[in-house]
Amino acid sequence: MIKRTLKVNGVERVVIVENDTPLATVLRENLGLTSVKIGCGTGQCGSCSVLMDGKVKRTCSLKMSRVEDFTEILTTEGIGTPTQMHPIQIAWMAHGAAQCGFCTPGFIISTYGLILSNPSPTREDVRNWFQKHRNACRCTGYKQLVDATMDAAAVMRGDMKVEDLLFKIPEDGRIWGSKYPRPTAVAKVTGTLDYGADLGIKMPEGTLRCALVQAEVSHANILSIDTSEAEKMEGVFKIVTHKDIKGKNLITGLITFPTNKGDGWDRPILAEKKIFQFGDAIAIVCADTEKHAKAAAEKVVVKIEQLPEYMSAPAAMADDAIEIHPGTPNVYFEQKVAKGEDTAAIFDKADAVIEDNFYVSRQPHMPIEPDVGFAYMDDDGKLCIHSKSIGLHLHAAMIAPGMGIELENLIMVQNFAGGTFGYKFSPTMEALVGVACLATGKPVFLNYTWFQQQTYTGKRSPFFTTVRLAADSDGKLRSMETDWICDHGPYSEFGDLLTLRGAQFIGAGYDIASIRGKGRTVCTNHAWGSAFRGYGSTEVEFASEVLMDELAEKLNMDPFDLRYKNIYREGSTTPTGQTPEVLSLEEIFTQARPLYEAAKKRVAKKSTDTIKHGVGLALGVYGCGLDGPDSAGAEIELHADGTVTMYACWLDHGQGADMGVLGTAHETLRPLGLAPEQIHLVMNDTRTCPNGGPAGGSRSQVVIGNAIVATCRELLDAMRKADGKYRSYDEMVKENKALRYSGSWTSPCTECDADGQGSPFACYMYGLFMMEVAVEIATGKTSVEKATLVTDIGKINNRLVVDGQIYGGLAQGIGIALTEDYEDIIKHSTMVGAGFPYIKQIPDDMEIVYVETARPEGPHGASGVGELPLTCPHGAVINAIYNACGARVTHLPARPEKVLAAMKAKA
């Protein structure tokens, strides 16, 4: 134990702590300064940054023994408060720089340190600073952070007025389509928003801290689990194993297609007989402190019989591979696509045929915030689980039978989430904390380390895709043949749905009358496949978009012209035979053409013998919704002061669900003339909010948005008088009118059939990506210098949000193209090891052009946006590399050695 006196945010504070406790933990747990976030925990993300004696320092691995007495420490709480914000915080809000907000306090402190040392930084100075201090952000693509820093510095120098950064409501009162800052922005920029780990440490006394006993191999039979030594360890309350679970001890994917050879009940909550992947949870140690829980977890002895580990689809498909789930073949689902005439005769007669095979890798989601959650029994005897879930009602149904609890006795709540990017479409720890709470009868709290986040949550499922295209000599596409394999890891949940995406999105955006193909879902022992932004489109559009460039070369056409010739026009249908809901690709290409011509000139001018520059294109299309009829509900209540409350489950990864609800409701309720702050939000709690469905498939703005419109209209209809004016609250009460209304919406869609044909989505998102790259000839090292997206996401609800969605998605596209992977379980278990893109890997020069075509089925004309920017940006990067240096990389990521090898192969 040591005593330290620290000068924290201007006040002397005494702490008595263990000398190996990290400063971050002391600031959070002893001093309650939870703006200091623990992300990676190993010095790689900057979310725990504070100023120490004026210098930016990461505190997660700084032991208290190394912190001197009277060190001056400044945290975000000490910079500004919600009622008195600092210009940096105001600038962060004005630029929409806090999405999930988890990295925000660390960035704000870092920015403060920068401006202290350099009051007039250039954009490059800012970028260098964030790079040097390892300030990592997974949501924003960094551009808005630099914009915010530049404005904050200008205000601090006196070159700009702080008022210029404050949002002003326009005269017509409309916030739809504006840059209104999201409702959670103030709490995010002041570090006062409580995430799961912040709530966890503030749980009542007696809350048990959990540590997992996890598999250290990827495939094995379990022979025995011995907890006897561990049970004797200090502070241990109980060690929960499969024996303590009252239910089926399985998580189900719920919806399994009828032709799926598995039944979907294949993921144990706690492993009993088999280990299916590295990290599988075997036991949960519940103890008084996290330290005690972890120490005891080390003492649990698990005896295993090692089985062959099938770490990729081809390995699991080999003739001699054993069934990973005995009784279910490793290839457990097939999806065909058959559109129009048979392809064989067309290919025989085609002027040009091109074929290639492609691999899109096991991209890790890498939110800065590791997975976290807790559970308790409430006073009504219901089990309440709080987590990062982006599908509360869905997850409740997936885990309740496994835990052995009736659905009506389970309440699910979403904590504010520090990014998920789709991994939380699958339940992760919900059932673990649930069974631990049921088995101990105590509140329990489980906080993953970043290593656990990386090794034991779902990943993007790698796809092996072969595409053949047949075209006329003038470039008109005639036919397409496809074959795709989805490596879905050991757990089947949604694997069939993901495989269907191959039928829906290979070749999307182009009018191809004849298509034949087949996809397969394969069980392997690598990380289980969970949703990842772009879900299927990222995996397969890469193949068709790179092949389009190969075809253009064969036909001696410009890749832009080849694409333009084939885009959806009057009479076109999608690969599933659906008529596109709007025809905006023509306009997108028209707007993109001059930008492309300018880019071609730019790269030609810049190329030298040692660094070659190139420009590449790729078309991205994705649907908004769950396949077929997709529904959501919402509720609204009118209050005595004339304000209203919207109740909605629009789950927030960090994308801006709060803004989504507010913007959509405010626009619909405009006849009432409410100010935005007169619309209160109650969100993301199954006890208080109706089922809005999961926040996947970029569906919320469209599907929940429409439910919100319907709900608000119910209220408006009830309030409207014969003369067209609206009743006050008092008049409503006097006339005995209800004060609470609900509404819902279901998309007018049909699911795809066995041939992959149908009209699965009411609204689509469209975009043409253009990437400009520089490739070092000696090393193959590629950097993206400019990213452009010309896009149609329908009418825009909030400009800060959609800009941020797009910059952030583009950054993840650059990541998957060049560096990101989770293949080597150990090497890729850290942010740096897995190729996390820091600011210098992402260009500051990002340009977005919006073509806002109103969607007939979209609320106020909006479509979705979330996944569009990650449909095919990587295709454009890869095409740009080829344009620069002739290296054709078809298997991602295009790390330098791969680019170099491709250059050599070409030579």
Q: Which residues are catalytic?
A: 867
Q: Which of 368, 431, 712, 806 binds ligand FES (CB under 6 A)?
A: 368
Beta bridge partners of 487: 522
Could you give the strand order of the β-sheet that contains 410-414, starting from the edge strand earlier in sequence?
236-240, 281-287, 208-214, 444-447, 372-377, 383-387, 410-414
- The least distance separating ligand FES from the CB of residue 49, rounded to whole angstroms, comes to 7
Q: Is 422 in the site for ligand MCN (CB under 6 A)?
A: yes
Q: Which single residue brings its beta carbon nearest to ligand FES?
A: 60
Compute CA distances 232 → 213, 237, 241, 287, 551, whole Å.
16, 10, 16, 11, 67
Count of CB atoms situated within 10 Å of the CB of 201: 18
Q: Which of 17, 24, 392, 802 binds ligand MCN (CB under 6 A)?
A: 802
Q: Convert residues 399-428 into a mask of x (bound to ligand FES by CB under 6 A) and - (unbound).
A: --------------------x---------
Enumerate residues 6+ apart whose C-beta is below 8 A from 141. Answer: 804, 806, 807, 808, 809, 810, 811, 842, 846
Q: Which of 249, 260, 521, 797 binds ligand MCN (CB under 6 A)?
A: 797
Of 507 and 697, nearer to ligand MCN (C-beta) is 697
Interactions with ligand FES, residue window 650-669 (CB under 6 A): 654
- The least distance separating ligand MCN from the CB of residue 410, rounded to whole angstroms, comes to 23
Q: Which of 39, 462, 625, 654 binds ligand MCN (CB under 6 A)?
A: 654
Q: Which of ligand MCN, ligand FES, none does residue 483 bind (CB under 5 to 8 Å by kind)?
A: none
Cis peptide bond prior to 893, omega within 30° of 0: yes
* Site of tokens 């660390």: 106
Q: Which single residue brings its beta carbon nearest to ligand MCN?
A: 866
Q: Which ranges of 82-190 would DSSP assign to H, the alpha helix?
A: 87-94, 104-117, 123-132, 143-157, 185-189
Q: Helices (H), strands (E): how many in the chain? A: 24, 30
- The least distance separating ligand FES from the CB of residue 422, rounded to whole angstroms, comes to 14
Q: Which of 13, 43, 688, 750 binds ligand FES (CB under 6 A)?
A: 43
Q: Which of 126, 793, 877, 900 binds ligand MCN (CB under 6 A)?
A: 793
Q: Which of ligand FES, ligand MCN, none does residue 653 bind (CB under 5 to 8 Å by kind)?
A: ligand MCN
* Cα–Cα dist 546/790, whole Å: 19
Stretch in the footprint of ligand FES (CB under 6 A) among 32-40, 338-346, 544-552, 595-603:
32-40
Q: Is 364 in the site for ligand FES (CB under 6 A)?
A: no
Helix (H) or strand (E) holding 668: helix 657-668
Could you tell me if 655 and 422 are in contact, meaning their C-beta atoms sit under 8 angstroms apart? no
Q: Convert residues 347-386 into a mask of x (bound to ligand MCN by CB under 6 A) and - (unbound).
A: ----------------------------------------
Structure tokens of 717? 């209809």
Q: Is 878 in the site for ligand MCN (CB under 6 A)?
A: no
Stretch in the footprint of ligand FES (CB under 6 A) among 69-77, 137-145, 234-242, 401-409:
137-145
Q: Which of ligand FES, ligand MCN, none does residue 660 bind (CB under 5 to 8 Å by kind)?
A: ligand MCN
- The least distance separating ligand MCN from the CB of residue 175, rounded to whole angstroms, comes to 11
Of 109 and 885, nearer to ligand FES (C-beta) is 109
Q: Is 215 in the site for ligand MCN (CB under 6 A)?
A: no
Q: Which of ligand FES, ligand MCN, none does residue 38 bind (CB under 5 to 8 Å by kind)?
A: ligand FES
DSSP codes joined into one string, 405-434: --GGGEEEEEPB-S--TTGGGS-SSHHHHH
Q: Convert residues 257-296 into a mask of x (bound to ligand MCN by CB under 6 A) and - (unbound).
A: ----------------------------------------
Q: What is the DSSP letter of 71?
A: -
* Cα–Cα dist 115/108, whole Å: 11
* Cα–Cα dist 404/380, whole Å: 18
Of 427 and 475, nearer to ligand MCN (C-beta) is 427
Q: Which ranges of 696-768 would DSSP assign to H, the alpha helix?
A: 705-719, 729-734
Interactions with ligand MCN, residue window 660-699 (CB under 6 A): 660, 695-699
- The least distance separating ligand FES from the CB of residue 97, rounded to whole angstroms, comes to 7
Could you tell me if 886 and 550 are in contact, meaning their C-beta atoms sit under 8 angstroms apart? no
Helix (H) or strand (E) holding 846: strand 846-850
Of 358 and 421, nearer to ligand FES (C-beta) is 421
Interactions with ligand FES, residue window 58-117 (CB under 6 A): 58, 60, 98-103
Q: Convert residues 96-125 into a mask of x (bound to ligand MCN by CB under 6 A) and - (unbound).
A: ---xx-------------------------
Three-state secondary-structure class, residue 406: coil
Output the CA torsion sign for 707, 712, 713, 718: positive
Helix (H) or strand (E) holding 514: strand 514-522
**From the CA atom positions of the chain, what is the Rg in Å?**
27
Three-state secondary-structure class, residue 719: helix
Residue 599 phi/psi, 5° resolution? -65, -40
Enumerate residues 6+ apart whose C-beta is below 8 A from 389. Answer: 395, 412, 414, 424, 427, 430, 651
Q: Which of 153, 867, 871, 872 binds ligand MCN (CB under 6 A)?
A: 867
Q: Which of ligand MCN, ligand FES, none does residue 585 bind (CB under 5 to 8 Å by kind)?
A: none
Which residue, 123, 218, 137, is CA-closest to 455?
Answer: 218
Q: Is 27 in the site for ligand FES (CB under 6 A)?
A: no
Q: Is 44 in the site for ligand FES (CB under 6 A)?
A: yes
* Cα–Cα dist 456/362, whole Å: 13
* Cα–Cα dist 195/35, whole Å: 10
Q: Is 700 in the site for ligand MCN (CB under 6 A)?
A: yes
* Cα–Cα dist 392/388, whole Å: 9
Q: Is 454 in the site for ligand FES (CB under 6 A)?
A: no
Q: Which of ligand MCN, ligand FES, none does residue 45 bind (CB under 5 to 8 Å by kind)?
A: ligand FES
Q: Which of 15, 40, 94, 346 binds ligand FES (CB under 6 A)?
A: 40
* Cα–Cα dist 895/541, whole Å: 20
Q: Is 370 in the site for ligand FES (CB under 6 A)?
A: no
Interactions with ligand FES, residue window 140-169 (CB under 6 A): 140
Beta bridge partners of 239: 285
* Cα–Cα dist 681/745, whole Å: 19
Interface residues with ligand MCN (CB under 6 A) are 99-100, 139, 419-422, 533, 653-657, 659-660, 695-701, 793-794, 796-798, 801-802, 805, 808, 862-867
Interface residues with ligand FES (CB under 6 A) are 38-41, 43-48, 58, 60, 98-103, 137-140, 368, 419, 654
